[in-house]
Amino acid sequence: MLKKNVVVSKLLEGLIIVVTFLVPFSLLSQQIKTVVIDAGHGGKDPGCHGNFAFEKEVCLSMALKLGALIKDKFPEIKIIYTREKDVFVELIERANIANRAKADLFICIHANANASEAAFGTETYVLGLHRTEAQQKVAERENSIIALEDDKGAKYKEIDLSTDAIIVRQLQLKVFLDHSILFAEKLQKEFKKFGRYDRGVKQAGFLVLYKTTMPSVLIETGFLTNSTEEKFLGNTSGQSNMATLMFNAFENYRNQIENKITIKNEKKDIMLEEPVTSIKVILKDSLGLVFRVQVESWDQRRDNSYKLFKGYEVYEYEQDNSFKYCIGNFSNYQIAKDYKIELIKKGFQNAFLVAFLNGERINIEKAIKLAEK
């Protein structure tokens, strides 16, 4: 117990470090310049498998195809792979590759497995606390490959994946976590549009995500233990389809963070550029603590034709038999407050701040106190 408290205490001390020392300049300037794509497993670590398809091969194919699509559309973006062939790369080295490159996004591609052949669908993970035994097992399976490393995983013994430690790590990397969730949501939306079963955005204690210091996601592209999904993922056309869906999500993510909002660091005020996207009512909420600006509330659901919403990404939630609509997704209370002022100037006369914790609305005063901590 004493050792655990010491570890958590040391991690809490780290929260006083100025965030800009951890944040790559490219993220502060809302630009994506470098993307690291990590094909899970490799070499002596085959990952999971079905009757004929192996995770290490499927993931490598999708990773290379995704990188090629990004490079073709955005030649100015630097693409780095943690592996480009069938070799074994330690988990910590995968994260180190991204950290050394000061990457703006880390995309880790995996395939799933389950004792039941009936399990199917895609899910995308960000760093956090698992909520179900199934999520815990996925993290444990992916983390277990450290036993294949030369030191049998000795270097990871100092990493604390307890509840307290992960919460502290989330707070340390809050600016990245918000972007991770945003990208994860866009990935799952693209998979669902294509017809893949949407298992949702989830969180768990993946070592490779724990060690990265940039927006990072781990994609479980499907179950190789499901014969139908194995045929899809084990086939070149299926791999190309998945890579294209990931690219579509990446392009949407890039467009949003580069074009929608620009934050002036010194004065901390917000400039809104000309909107580039149409209204999107998002039913799924983000994980963690977020501040948003509620702009309207009606007894009936609004749709994309509502003129005030044009150009904004709108979050919808239902409360007290009413449909309520919010704009913005901020971890910083002051920035959210400034954004509210801008929205009032742009016609949202009834705008006010609201806060959500893991998808549930909470008292704004409580949210401010949590953010201060």
Query: What domains appear along the chain, each with residue ranges and CATH number?
Result: 2-259 (3.40.630.40), 264-372 (no CATH)
**Span 167-171, mean pLDDT?**
62
pLDDT computed for residue 230 by the predictor: 95
With H, G, I as helix, E, B as strand and everything else as coil, classify residue 129.
coil
pTM of the model: 0.60
Instruction: Out of 26-40, 103-117, 145-159, give the one with best mean pLDDT.
Output: 103-117
Residue 282 tokens, joined: 């998002």
Query: The dihedral of CA 91, 95, 98, 103: what is its sign?
Result: positive
- Judge whether residue 138 has pLDDT over 60: no
> Distance between CA 45 and CA 56 in Å, rounded?
8
Q: Which of 102-106, 117-121, 124-128, 252-256 has the highest mean pLDDT?
A: 102-106
Find the mean pLDDT for residues 313-334: 82
256: its two tokens = 């949003």
CB atoms within 10 A of CB 288: 20
- Mean pLDDT score, 7-34: 47
pLDDT band at 163 (very low <50, low <70, confident <90, very high): low
* Alpha helices (H) along the chain: 2-13, 25-28, 55-73, 91-100, 133-143, 163-172, 174-194, 207-210, 227-233, 236-259, 333-345, 364-372
148 pLDDT band (50/70/90 cuts)? Answer: low
Strands 261-263 and 270-272: antiparallel
Q: Is residue 29 predicted with pLDDT exceeding 90?
A: no
- Rounded mean pLDDT of 140-148? 58
Q: Is the pLDDT of residue 118 over 90?
A: no
